[in-house]
Amino acid sequence: MVTGRAASPPTQANAEDPIVFVIDDDASVRDALSNLFRSVGLRTVTFGSAHEFLQHKPADVPSCLILDIRLPRLSGLDFQAELAKAGIHIPIIFMTGHGDIPMTVRAMKAGAVDFLTKPFRDQDMLDAVTTAIDRDRSRRDEAKVLANLRGAFATLTPRERQVMTLVTAGLMNKQVAAEIGVAEITVKIHRGQIMRKMAAKSLPDLVRMAEILGIGRASGGAQT
């Protein structure tokens, strides 16, 4: 994508490049990881505590978080739960010097990408980061599509939403009309408006949008 990249100085960060965040109270660990990631060209930002991380404005690029289980105030696991509750879904890689199996299980159940015991091989960490970044990239792509669809859906009037639900459920215009008690022509006009507002190029297109938006669940469809 970026041409003439070889000429760029290594410190010049591209706004599209992924970022690795590291939280550890041990400065030597932070530096070691920072060097490791920079050596493979990854932007890295380190923090001494979970609190500092939260102060930092969330980056709008694929990223992941390296977390020590044992953090200054909050445990890494509790911090993971906090982030989830706050709707922050950054992939997490745990490190630990003295973790146990229940901790590991809890972290993995909560969606952690990996759980590395110190000392770990650099390559294991790099592999985990690659997986985590890929996962975040996919998640962000999906979130973006969903946000756009929700934005379009929000421009629909209540009636249009209702019509969209029934139309994508497979009802004919006349059936929709009977269902909501209006004339068929009215449904047609709503329907045209829906297609324009949702920027749907065809009915199948609209149906797929409805699926992504989770519209019309709890009514018969493609089951057997």
The tokens of 224 are what?
């057997």
158-168 vs 203-213: helix axis angle to the nearest 10?
A: 110
Among the listed residues 3, 11, 55, 202, the single contact to a copy of itself using CB under 8 A: 202
Distance in Å, CB of 188 to DNA, minimum? 4
CA angle 199-203-204, nearest 5°?
Answer: 105
168 is a site residue for DNA (CB under 7 A):
no
Choices 3-11, 90-98, 126-134, 184-192; region in contact with DNA by CB under 7 A: 184-192
Give which of a copy of itself, DNA, none residue 174 binds (C-beta under 5 to 8 Å, depending on kind). Answer: DNA
148 is a site residue for a copy of itself (CB under 8 A):
yes
Separation CA 44–CA 22 (nearest Å): 7
Sketch the per residue contact string, 21 through 40, with a copy of itself: x for CB under 8 A, - otherwise.
--------------------
Q: Which residues pair with 95 in a beta bridge?
A: 68, 116
Contact between residue 66 and residue 33 where contact means Cβ atoms under 8 Å apart: yes
Separation CA 38–CA 43 (nearest Å): 6
**Residue nearer to DNA on the CB measure, 1 or 154:** 154
Q: Which of 133, 140, 83, 131 is nearest to 107 (CA)?
A: 83
- Binders of DNA among 198-217, rule CB under 7 A? 203
Q: Which residues pair with 63 in a beta bridge?
A: 19
Q: Which of 134, 140, 115 is nearest to 125 (CA)?
A: 115
Choices 75-83, 107-115, 126-134, 182-190; region in contact with DNA by CB under 7 A: 182-190
212 is a site residue for a copy of itself (CB under 8 A):
yes
**CA 101 → CA 76, 83, 91, 104, 108, distances in Å?**
15, 22, 20, 5, 10
The residues that touch a copy of itself, with contacts defined as CB under 8 A, are 96, 99-102, 104-105, 108-109, 114-115, 117, 144-145, 148-149, 152, 167-172, 199-205, 207-209, 211-212, 220-224
* Chain residues that interact with DNA, rule: CB under 7 A: 157-160, 172-174, 177, 180-183, 185-186, 188-192, 195, 203
